Amino acid sequence: MSSSFGTLYRVSTFGESHCKGVGVVIDGCPPGLQLTEADIQPQLDRRRPGQSSFSTDRQEKDQVTIISGTENGRTLGTPIALQVANKDQRPQDYGEMADIPRPSHADYTYQMKYGIKASSGGGRSSARETIGTVAAGAVAEKVLREKFNVEIIAWVESAGDITAAEQDMLTITRQQVDASPIRCPDLNAAAKMQAMIAELKEAGDSTGGIVSCVIRNVPVGLGEPTYEKLEAKLAQAMLAIPATKGFEIGSGFAGTRLRGSQHNDPFVAKDLGLGTATNNSGGIQGGISNGEPIYFRIAFKPPATIALPQPTVDFDGNSVLLEAKGRHDPCVVPRAVAIVESMAALVLLDMALRQEARKAMSF
């Protein structure tokens, strides 16, 4: 049951890099929602490689088709199948790599786990798998926006050792994020990142980065303690994105150095109920949203597939020098922005549905 996520808004993805198509089945989408491909395509376009010289040049158009679950542009409450055809289904570029597991890639572990693996392109571990997540997330985001005016904005905070200036959680917009192709709203830092990545691409190397995300207008009360605390499900969701190595929410690792008297967020009276004067909690207390903005950061490692020659061994243990062919992202964070937002939407909508059930049946 590895490729499903959620309890009431449940998504099940499918597809490898070079099969007939990739996609997702959404079970539990609320009925009556106005929905066409145009609601989904923009996030797929933001996720797509080849948007700029800073990501891989492969032209994947990634046009989504709604196979089922809507009629006359409205959801029926039945499973919504979304699909994107794979244009090029012929495994080719990866020939030599079939016998050599790429260091820090999934080739070795997939082979050991399944006793078989897709002969090329990473199969299910490829970033292409995230198309289903992003498509389902776009639908979830629309529900959340229409019901609660929820806003989810992720951006590139750092690439390699270049870090953007701190952003204003309360005002940052997706437009600001998309002002640069690298999706860093600090245009100064963005320019440096782009230069650095262009260099890396030339050199056949790669780099990591950090994506930040804020979610505004979250209803109070979302999250299902104890094992499905809101931050716990967000953490699972983010670490399920390929190439992620870390997650922190609110004060995160830096907060461990503070005193309780410094770290605590005092309550203040607000228009509707209470708010907090500070937000070290990152919008979640005891595993439940408190109405303040939720914000978190995700660490992405440098992509494993690089053109530079790497000394390693083949599946039989023989020493080899691997030079990966094909065109690969030198840095995934610009594309990861849409994936992070989508994953966040999947978590939030599922939690919102569960809380609505509770509210309706409480005494």
Known binding positions for FMN? 124-126, 286, 301-305, 327
Tell me how crowded residue 68 is: count the other CB atoms within 10 A of its CB.
14
Query: Which one of 52, 61, 112, 202 is in contact with its own copies (CB under 8 A)?
Result: 112
Beta bridge partners of 135: none
Closest CB to its own copies among residues 166, 317: 317
By the rule CB under 8 A, 265 interacts with its own copies: yes
By the rule CB under 8 A, 62 interacts with its own copies: no
Residues 87-106 contacting its own copies, CB under 8 A: 101, 103-106
Distances from the Cα of 61 to the Cα of 47, 85, 205, 312, angstroms: 11, 9, 26, 35
Closest CB to its own copies among residues 146, 171: 146
Closest CB to its own copies among residues 42, 73: 73
Smallest distance from its own copies to CB 300, Å: 6
Smallest distance from its own copies to CB 175, Å: 25
Residues contacting its own copies: total by CB under 8 A? 166
| Residue 190 burial class via C-beta count within 10 angstroms: exposed 0-12, middle 13-18, buried 19 and up | buried
What's the one-letter identity of residue 150?
A: V
Query: Which one of 37, 45, 220, 323 is in contact with its own copies (CB under 8 A)?
Result: 220
Residues of the binding site for NADP(+): 47
Residues 200-219 contacting its own copies, CB under 8 A: 200, 205-210
Cis amide prior to 226 (ω within 30 degrees): yes
Spatial separation of the C-alpha atoms in residues 200 and 75, rounded to whole Å = 45
Query: Which one of 131, 244, 337, 348 is in contact with its own copies (CB under 8 A)?
Result: 244
Distances from the Cα of 304 to the Cα of 45, 105, 142, 316, 317, angstroms: 23, 6, 34, 21, 19
Query: Which one of 61, 161, 165, 195 is in contact with its own copies (CB under 8 A)?
Result: 161
Taking the alpha carbons at both ends of the chain, their separation in whole angstroms is 35
Rg of the chain taking only CA atoms, in angstroms = 21
DSSP string, 212-245: EEEEESPPTT--BTTTB-HHHHHHHHHHTSTTEE
User: For 50, which DSSP code?
Assistant: T
Residues 290-349 contacting its own copies, CB under 8 A: 290, 297, 299-306, 308, 310-313, 315, 317-318, 330
Residue with token string 């610009």: 334
Closest CB to its own copies among residues 112, 165: 112
Pairing of strands 74-75, 151-159: unpaired
By the rule CB under 8 A, 118 interacts with its own copies: yes
Closest CB to its own copies among residues 67, 173: 67
Query: Which one of 45, 145, 179, 221 is in contact with its own copies (CB under 8 A)?
Result: 221
In contact, 336 and 211? CB cutoff 8 Å? yes
In contact, 147 and 287? CB cutoff 8 Å? no
Element (H, E) at 136: helix 130-148
Residues 3-22 contacting its own copies, CB under 8 A: 3-5, 7-8, 10, 12-16, 18-22
Smallest distance from its own copies to CB 159, Å: 8
Smallest distance from its own copies to CB 352, Å: 7
In contact, 225 and 287? CB cutoff 8 Å? yes
By the rule CB under 8 A, 166 interacts with its own copies: no
Closest CB to its own copies among residues 141, 248: 248
Residues 168-197 contacting its own copies, CB under 8 A: none
Q: Which stretch binds its own copies (CB under 8 A): 42-50, 52-60, 171-179, 286-294?
A: 286-294
In contact, 248 and 297? CB cutoff 8 Å? yes
Closest CB to its own copies among residues 20, 61: 20
Residues of the binding site: 47, 124-126, 286, 301-305, 327
